[in-house]
C-alpha cells in the first residue's frame, strides 16, 4: 500500500472527527464570549437561487427563535468551475424547491419560470442598496416572487419604489464577494455561516438548531422541522406500491450515496418497491472537475449527515480510479450470487469508514469476504470490462432524466436528487398510487 493510501484514512478521520468539531466549537464560543460579541451568522443570498429564496423565508423566524443576529450578504456571480452541470442544476433546483416549499409550508411558485440574467441583476442591485435595512427580508421575498413569476409589472414597481445601487458599484461589489466567498471556503449560496461552520439550505438548519440548543439558545420546539425532508415517515400502508420501481443512481466514490444506502433499502422494504441500483462512474472519472474547496466541504458535511443517520463514517480511503473500477467490475458477480445488497454495504462501509483500499488485492479481498462472497471466484471478474458499457448506459439514463450527480432517485413520475430528500421521494410514490386510485 502506498504512503498516500496509508495516510489518507488518518487525515480524513481527523477532518471529520466529532471530537475535533466539538473542540473547534468550544474555541469559537470562547472567543465570542471574550470579545463580548452576540451570536451572529452571515447568510449568503442569491435571488436567482431557489434555495436562497426558501432560506430567506425561514431565517427571520429562525433568528427570533434562537436569539441570534443574521446578516444577509447579497451575491449574484459564482465560480462556474464549482458547478459541473450548471444548466441542469438551473432546471432541477426550482422543481426541487417547489417540492420543499410544499413540504415545509413555504412559498415558491409552482408555475416558476427561470429568471432572466439582466432582471436578476436589477433585483440584486436593489437588494444591495437595502442590505442593512430591517425591511431586507420582506423586500427580498417580494422581489423573488416577482422574479420567479416573471411578473415584470410588480418588479418594475418595486425597483421604482426602492431604487438600486449604481451599476458600476454593484458590479465591483458582486465580483469581490464571489472571490471572497471561495476564499472563505464555500461555493453554494443559500448558505449560512455561523462560527466557522457552513449550513446550506433549509435541510442543514437542523444541525445548527441542535448546536444552538446545546448553547442554551432557543427551545427544542423549533418553528419548522428543518430536517424533515431527510427521512421517509414509513408510517403509511400502501399495498398499491408493491412492485413499483425505484431507481437509485449510485457511485462508490460518493459519500452521500453511501449515507443514502440504508434508507433506500428501508424505504424499498417497507413499501415492497422494486429497487434497482444503477452504478455510475464518479464525476472526476467522467471528465468533470471537483475543486479542492468543494471536496473538503462535502467531506465535512457528509460526516455531519452520517452522524445524524448513525452511519459509520470518517476513516476514508478515496477509491477514485482503480478502486472504483474494481468495485464496479465485481457488481455483476455480486448480482449473480444474489448478494448485491451485501456487496454494496460492505464495499461502501469499508471505503468510507474503515479506510480500506479497494485498489489493492488485500483491501478488495477483505471487502469481498465481508460481503459473504468467495474471493477466488470474485477475482476472475476483475479483467471483465463489460461493466463499462453498463455504467455509460446508466449515466445516459440519469442525464436524460434530468440529473448529473449521485445519489439520484427516479420513481415512475419524478427525478429527485440528494440523500436528504427521502420525504420527497415517499410523497412522490404515495401521490402516484393515489392518482392511479383516482383514475380508477
How does pLDDT run across 321-334, given as a tens digit for each residue? 999 999 999 999 99
CA distance 169 to 281: 44
3-state class (DSSP) for residue 219: coil
CA distance 146 to 54: 14
Range from 27-31, 93-97, 187-191, 287-291 carrying the lowest mean pLDDT: 287-291
Quick one: cell of 71? 446578516
Give me the percent of the chain exceeding a pLDDT of 90: 83
The confidence score (pLDDT) of residue 290 equals: 58
| Burial (Cβ within 10 Å: 0-12, 13-18, ≥19) of residue 254 | buried
Contact 248, 278 (CB under 8 A): yes
Q: What is the mean pLDDT of residues 109-129?
A: 96
Q: Look at residue 313 and tell me whether its pLDDT is greater than 90.
A: yes
Q: Which residues pair with 278 in a beta bridge?
A: 249
Q: What is the mean pLDDT of residues 328-345?
A: 98
Contact 40, 113 (CB under 8 A): no
Kindly report the CA angle at 229 between 214 and 296, in degrees rounded to 5?
65
Q: Look at residue 289 and tell me whether its pLDDT is greater than 70.
A: no
Residue 434: band (very low, low, confident or very high) from pLDDT cuts 50, 70, 90:
confident
Question: Domains along the chain?
Answer: 38-229 (3.40.30.10), 231-435 (3.40.30.10)
CA distance 59 to 43: 9
The confidence score (pLDDT) of residue 436 equals: 62
Q: Look at residue 164 and tell me whether its pLDDT is greater than 60.
A: yes
Q: What is the mean pLDDT of residues 373-383?
A: 97
Q: Look at residue 1 and tell me whether its pLDDT is greater than 60.
A: no
Q: What is the mean pLDDT of residues 232-243?
A: 93
Note the pTM of the prediction, 2 decimals. Answer: 0.94
Which contiguous run of DSSP H or E holds residue 38? none
Q: What is the mean pLDDT of residues 145-150?
A: 96
Amino acid at each position: 500500500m502506498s504512503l498516500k493510501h496509508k495516510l489518507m484514512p488518518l487525515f480524513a478521520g481527523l477532518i471529520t472527527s466529532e471530537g475535533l468539531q466539538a473542540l473547534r466549537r468550544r474555541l469559537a464560543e470562547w472567543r465570542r464570549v471574550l470579545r463580548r460579541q452576540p451570536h451572529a451568522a452571515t447568510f449568503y443570498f442569491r435571488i436567482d437561487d431557489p434555495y436562497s429564496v426558501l432560506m430567506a423565508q425561514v431565517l427571520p423566524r429562525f433568528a427570533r427563535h434562537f436569539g441570534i443576529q443574521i446578516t444577509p450578504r447579497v451575491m449574484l456571480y459564482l465560480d462556474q468551475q464549482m458547478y459541473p452541470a450548471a444548466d441542469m442544476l438551473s432546471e432541477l433546483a426550482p422543481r426541487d424547491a417547489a417540492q420543499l416549499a410544499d413540504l415545509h409550508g413555504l412559498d415558491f411558485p409552482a408555475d416558476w419560470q427561470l429568471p432572466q440574467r439582466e432582471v436578476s441583476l436589477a433585483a440584486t442591485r436593489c437588494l444591495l442598496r437595502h442590505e442593512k435595512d430591517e425591511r431586507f427580508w420582506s423586500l427580498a421575498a417580494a422581489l423573488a416572487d416577482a422574479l420567479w413569476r416573471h411578473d415584470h409589472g410588480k418588479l418594475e414597481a418595486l425597483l421604482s419604489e426602492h431604487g438600486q445601487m449604481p451599476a458600476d458599484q454593484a458590479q465591483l461589489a458582486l465580483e469581490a464577494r464571489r472571490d471572497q466567498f471561495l476564499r472563505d471556503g464555500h461555493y453554494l449560496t443559500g448558505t449560512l455561516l455561523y462560527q466557522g461552520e457552513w449550513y446550506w439550505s433549509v435541510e442543514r438548519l437542523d444541525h445548527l438548531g441542535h448546536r444552538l440548543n446545546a448553547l442554551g439558545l432557543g427551545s427544542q420546539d423549533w418553528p419548522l422541522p428543518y430536517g424533515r425532508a431527510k427521512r421517509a415517515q414509513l408510517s403509511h400502508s400502501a399495498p398499491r406500491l408493491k412492485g413499483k420501481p425505484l431507481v437509485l443512481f449510485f457511485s462508490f466514490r460518493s459519500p452521500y450515496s453511501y449515507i443514502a444506502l440504508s434508507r433506500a433499502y428501508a424505504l424499498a422494504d417497507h413499501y415492497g418497491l422494486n429497487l434497482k441500483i444503477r452504478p455510475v462512474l464518479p464525476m472526476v472519472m467522467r471528465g468533470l472537475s471537483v475543486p479542492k474547496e468543494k471536496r473538503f466541504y462535502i467531506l465535512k458535511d457528509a460526516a455531519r449527515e452520517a452522524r445524524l443517520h448513525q452511519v459509520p463514517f470518517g476513516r476514508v480511503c478515496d477509491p477514485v480510479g482503480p478502486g472504483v473500477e474494481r468495485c464496479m467490475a465485481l457488481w455483476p458477480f455480486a448480482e449473480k450470487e444474489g448478494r448485491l445488497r451485501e456487496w454494496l454495504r460492505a464495499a461502501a462501509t469499508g471505503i468510507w469508514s474503515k479506510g480500506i483500499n479497494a485498489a489493492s488485492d488485500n483491501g478488495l479481498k477483505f471487502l469481498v469476504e465481508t460481503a459473504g462472497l468467495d474471493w477466488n471466484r470474485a477475482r476472475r471478474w476483475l479483467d471483465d470490462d463489460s461493466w463499462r458499457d453498463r455504467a455509460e448506459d446508466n449515466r445516459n439514463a440519469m442525464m436524460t432524466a434530468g440529473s448529473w450527480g449521485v445519489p439520484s432517485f427516479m420513481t415512475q413520475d419524478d427525478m429527485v436528487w440528494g440523500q436528504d430528500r427521502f420525504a420527497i421521494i415517499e410523497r412522490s410514490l404515495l401521490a402516484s398510487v393515489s392518482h392511479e386510485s383516482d383514475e380508477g
